């Protein structure tokens, strides 16, 4: 019997209701482990401590915006290649911001979230 390590997803989001929603959604998905952070700085510390397979990133955070978090992730050798999915209630007019793998709109819907997992997580 093999015991595969689940893929870690880091969700950087200051709204605990949104964190709980994603946690409940991901409970329906085998092979993933969710780690959350309430601030951009906390998310960066978590990502650099143990690089995740995927980052879900709120754009509006209390200490720094998601674009600054993305820039910091891209500047670090351990996280520069980690896919980052922006999650926001207010999507920018141009979705071509370099560095984001995808944008998801709040409220989060299950199908687009699962599609992002399928597209960006390693296959087992």
The 8-class DSSP code of residue 121 comes to S
Question: What pLDDT digit, counting tens, does each position of 3-53 carry?
Answer: 578 999 999 999 999 999 999 999 989 999 999 999 999 999 999 999 999
Percent of the chain predicted with pLDDT > 70: 90
Q: In terms of C-beta density within 10 A (0-12 exposed, 13-18 middle, 19 or more buried), how is residue 57 classed?
A: buried
Q: What is the pTM of this model?
A: 0.91
Question: What pLDDT digit, counting tens, does each position of 72-124 carry?
Answer: 999 999 999 999 999 988 765 555 566 799 999 888 999 999 999 999 998 75
pLDDT of residue 91: 64
Sheet of strand 84-88, all strands in order from the earlier edge strand to the far edge: 32-37, 7-12, 54-58, 84-88, 102-105
CATH 3.40.50.2300 fits 7-14+27-120, yes or no: yes
Tell me how many degrees the CA angle 16-52-108 measures, rounded to the nearest 5: 40
Residues 6+ apart with CB under 8 A from 26: 9, 32, 34
């Amino acid at each position: 019997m093999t015991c595969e390590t689940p893929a870690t997803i880091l969700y950087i989001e200051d709204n605990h209701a949104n964190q709980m929603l994603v946690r409940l959604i991901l409970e329906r998905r085998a092979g993933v482990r969710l780690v959350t952070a309430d601030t951009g700085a906390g998310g960066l510390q978590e990502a650099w401590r143990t690089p995740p397979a995927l980052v879900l990133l709120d754009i509006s955070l209390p200490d720094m915006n998601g674009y600054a978090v993305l820039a910091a992730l891209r500047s670090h050798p351990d996280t520069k290649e980690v896919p980052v999915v922006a999650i926001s209630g207010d999507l920018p007019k141009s979705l071509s911001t370099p560095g984001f793998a995808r944008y998801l709109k709040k409220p989060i819907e299950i199908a687009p979230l699962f599609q992002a997992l399928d597209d960006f997580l390693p296959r087992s």
